Amino acid sequence: MKALRYLIPLAIFAMLVVFLWRGLSLNPREIPSPLIDKPTPGFALPVLGSEQTFRPEELKGQVWLLNVWASWCVSCRQEHPVLVAIGKERVLPVVGLNYKEVRGDGELDPSKIDAATEKALARERASKWLTRHGDPYLLSVLDLDGRVGVDLGVYGVPETFLIDREGRIRYKHIGPLTKEVWSTVFLPQVKKLSP
């Protein structure tokens, strides 16, 4: 019974350590998405560098990535080589969702830019960025006002969605994609989802 006197505080201490360890290693920026295993929200957005629009239904039957990016997003630059490598290896189609290209840039004042100028500016800036850093995308769509971003629950660019053949979101990665995340988290799931 005497041993209990010492064991109880020790047990409480161990419990605290476990809770704190877990709490400190969790990233509060990574909020679990409620969209996992749900159908991708529908949208029709203009394609960068063409007059066409793209709808996610067009890729039904394929496993694909939807990568949210913008030229003003610093972390996007960081993850971009990983995407370029994925694009080169032709692992799966990667669609870019250019998120608030003009309005998201803190250095521009969107109230002084009219809609037509914004559209042209967004296309120009996005194309230039892809020319400079490489274009891994099957195509990129422009979400100028970020409304499709809201439907997708985007709150921090970059974000990457893995979408299955039925058009359901299977995984969402928040923050820059790294080689490690790609090979340990994405690839196994891609293999499982592909026939």
Residue with smaller CB distance to another protein, 125 or 182: 125
Single out the residue of 152, 163, 169, 193 in contact with another protein (rule: CB under 8 A).
152
Residue with smaller CB distance to another protein, 144 or 190: 144
| Spatial distance between the Cα atoms of 90 and 63, rounded to a whole number of angstroms | 12
| Footprint of another protein on 88-147 (CB under 8 A) | 100, 103-104, 106, 145-147
From the CB of 151, what's the least distance to another protein, in Å? 6
Instruction: Check: CB of residue 46 under 8 Å from CB of residue 96.
Output: no
Interaction between residue 21 and another protein (CB under 8 A): no
Tell me how many residues contact another protein (CB under 8 A): 20
Interaction between residue 15 and another protein (CB under 8 A): no
Residue with smaller CB distance to another protein, 12 or 14: 12
Residue with smaller CB distance to another protein, 35 or 91: 35
Instruction: Check: CB of residue 134 under 8 Å from CB of residue 123.
Output: no
Q: How far is CA 92 from its chain centroid? A: 15
Interaction between residue 39 and another protein (CB under 8 A): no
**DSSP conformation letters of 123-192:** HHHHHHHHHHH----SEEEEESSSHHHHHTT--SS-EEEEE-TTSBEEEEEES---HHHIIIIIHHHHHH
Which residue's structure tokens are 């949210």? 68
Kindly state the helix (H) or strand (E) to which residue 87 belongs, with its residue range.
helix 74-89
Residue type, 136: P
Interaction between residue 31 and another protein (CB under 8 A): yes
**DSSP conformation letters of 3-54:** HHHHHHHHHHHHHHHHHHHHHHHS-TT-PPPTTTTSBPPP--EEBTTSS-EE
Residue with smaller CB distance to another protein, 88 or 147: 147
Pattern 60-89, binding to another protein, x per CB under 8 A?
------------------------------
Give the interface with another protein as residue ranges (CB under 8 A): 28, 31-35, 100, 103-104, 106, 145-147, 149-153, 155-156
